Amino acid sequence: MKRPRLCHSASRSIFIRTGGYRFVLPYADEWAKNVKARWVGRRLDDVLAAELPFIEAPSLAKAFDIGRIRVDDAPADRAHVLALNQRVTMQFHRHEPEVCDHDVAVLHEDDTLLAVNKPPSVPVHPSGRYKRNTVIGILEADRPDLFEPASGAGKGARIIHRLDRLVSGVLLMGRGAAAAAELSAMIRAGHMRKEYVARVAGRFPEGETVVTEPIGCASRGIYQCGGEGAKEAHTIFRREAVLEVGGGGVESQQGNEAVESLVRCIPITGRTHQLRLHLAHLGHPITDDIKYGGRCEALEAALEEQQCEQNGCGAGEEEEKEEEGQQQQQQQQQQQKQQQLQPEEKSKASAAAPAAGPARSKGHLDTAKLVVPDPVWPDSSRDAHCRECEQGFRDIGSVTPEDLLVSQIRLHALRYSCYAGQLVGGDCSAAGELLWSVEAPRPEWAKLPEGGKRG
């Protein structure tokens, strides 16, 4: 068996890359913040529970008990009331979620601009439970020369925009604070043309489709078209191709065939989840964007199977029983044939017959466990006071394909182009000279069909 690669970064984190996943060994970390105005007068434990939702209540309580939570460098009580000018620190053992194992490819690199191809499932920068399993963390491990001090004074790569964790494609960074500020200013001033490609449900309309529905926040992490406080949003869509996908399409049916479409998306504004919401508003959600109307058939099958196991019944039970009955009937027929064979013929038939495997329900995924040789979780990555360590590390061998089913959506930042002048409504004809353009390769799901239905 191929041994997993161990990747050591400059910050001493270790990536484990195996079975299509990238893991980070658990490690000691510290969260440190000056008291914010909205924290003043509140209990320390309430603030930490709100600011660090990924740390469970028992782990937070234990951290208080062993003195790992401090205010102004002194052990703090959970009922401590916060005041301005205080500094709160918490030491804890960080267990990061795994991500899909893709390299962060550099698309363009010069003295002012760095462009990379962001993989799906990987967040851009530290957020929540993610810190090293991010685009920045991976680049720091693979290309430390891009960051200070190795890059030279004032030339360290700095993020100037972001992509959702589920989205892939072009991600821009400035080489140093001055370059990052200049590029950010050009984006705000409308000098940048952004082009995405999405795979959506149904037959998208031909020609150009413009959506100007305002976008607002519905709840934490969920956005909507319209509603109180919604802000102006403007997107241009153009259909690239219609894809015939047999019975596996989403929502829209054309005769007996399900179809999906590849759509070029040009956002004029940059609201959170803008493209996802505007496509859903048109009735053509991104095919696997389950948050905004898409479907993930493999996930649905896995959930049905889980429900069936929990309840002893569930959707698809009759089909499973029918399949089992057919298999039993086939086995009985095979046994009858075997009994009629001469001894030498029996041995030949047995040698030729494939080994029987477990019955699989319709839509079942291959959940074969990954086997990782030692050392995977060395003692050095354990913490005697960590509740997650006490419960046992998540066994890499137990990770199945279902774990990352919703870790990406079919939305890809295809091209970013910068012009000397300002674009008007996405039109670059009067924007003057093209200063530069960076394009990321299309993923497999976004490739245009050869001789297929285009436009």
Residue 412 vs residue 336, higher pLDDT: 412
Give the CA distances from residue 83 to residues 44, 63, 67, 88, 342, in Å, rounded to whole numbers and listed in that order: 10, 21, 20, 11, 90
Supply the DSSP string of 341-402, one letter for each residue: S-HHHHHHHHHHSPPP-----TT----PPP--PSSSS-GGG--TT-HHHHH-PPPGGG--GG
Q: Which CATH number fits domain 102-188: 3.20.20.70, 3.30.2350.10, 3.30.420.140, 3.30.1300.10?
A: 3.30.2350.10
Kindly report which listed range (130-139, 192-201, 267-276, 363-372) carries the lowest average pLDDT score.
363-372
Where are the CATH 3.10.290.10 domain residues in the chain? 27-94
Q: Average pLDDT in the 359-384 region?
A: 46
d(CA 292, CA 373): 40
Q: Binning pLDDT at 50, 70 and 90, where does residue 13 land?
A: low
pLDDT at residue 428 in the model: 86
pLDDT over 50 (residue 285): yes
Share of residues in the chain with pLDDT > 70 (%):
71
User: What is the torsional sign of CA 425, 426, 430, 431?
Assistant: positive
- CATH class of residue range 27-94: alpha beta
pLDDT in tens, 182-225: 999 999 999 999 999 999 999 999 999 999 999 999 988 899 99
pLDDT over 70 (residue 358): no
Residue 384 vs residue 279, higher pLDDT: 279
Where are the CATH 3.30.2350.10 domain residues in the chain? 102-188, 193-296+408-454
pLDDT at residue 24 in the model: 87
pLDDT at residue 368 in the model: 36
Can you say whether residue 383 is alpha, beta or left, with left for phi > 0 and alpha for psi between -120 and 50 degrees? Answer: beta
Q: Average pLDDT in the 247-253 region?
A: 43
pLDDT at residue 438 in the model: 97
Residue 333 vs residue 97, higher pLDDT: 97
* Residue whose pair of structure tokens reads 């990352």 in the numeric block: 404
Q: Average pLDDT in the 298-324 region?
A: 54
Q: Encoding tokens for residue 200? A: 């959506």
Residue 340 vs residue 348, higher pLDDT: 340
Give the CA distances from residue 206 to residues 201, 238, 259, in Å, rounded to whole numbers and listed in that order: 14, 7, 14
pLDDT over 70 (residue 22): yes
pTM over 0.85: no
Q: Binning pLDDT at 50, 70 and 90, where does residue 326 land?
A: low
pLDDT at residue 87 in the model: 97
Residue 332 vs residue 418, higher pLDDT: 418
As a residue count, the chain comes to 455
Q: Encoding tokens for residue 120? A: 């799906």
pLDDT at residue 170 in the model: 98
Q: Binning pLDDT at 50, 70 and 90, where does residue 276 land?
A: very high
pLDDT at residue 335 in the model: 52
Residue 375 vs residue 279, higher pLDDT: 279
Q: Average pLDDT in the 337-355 region?
A: 39
pLDDT in tens, 142-185: 999 998 776 666 789 999 999 999 999 999 999 999 999 999 99
Kindly report which listed range (150-154, 239-243, 376-380, 448-452) carries the lowest average pLDDT score.
376-380
Give the CA distances from residue 263 to residues 232, 241, 350, in Å, rounded to whole numbers and listed in that order: 22, 7, 53
Kindly report which listed range (106-120, 293-307, 421-435) carries the lowest average pLDDT score.
293-307
pLDDT over 80 (residue 253): no
Q: Binning pLDDT at 50, 70 and 90, where does residue 378 land?
A: low
Residues known to be catalytic = 164
User: What is the torsional sign of CA 5, 114, 110, 264?
Assistant: positive
Q: Binning pLDDT at 50, 70 and 90, where does residue 72 land?
A: very high
Instruction: Count CB-CB contacts under 10 A for residue 427.
Output: 12
d(CA 401, CA 369): 9
pLDDT at residue 159 in the model: 94
d(CA 155, CA 144): 12
d(CA 316, CA 247): 17
Q: Average pLDDT in the 70-92 region?
A: 96
pLDDT over 90 (residue 348): no
pLDDT at residue 426 in the model: 81
Question: 3-class SS at 305?
Answer: helix
Per-chain mean pLDDT for the chain: 79
Q: Encoding tokens for residue 72? A: 């102004």
Q: Which CATH number fits domain 193-296+408-454: 3.30.2350.10, 1.25.40.80, 3.40.1370.10, 1.10.1750.10?
A: 3.30.2350.10
pLDDT at residue 2 in the model: 41
pLDDT at residue 453 in the model: 54
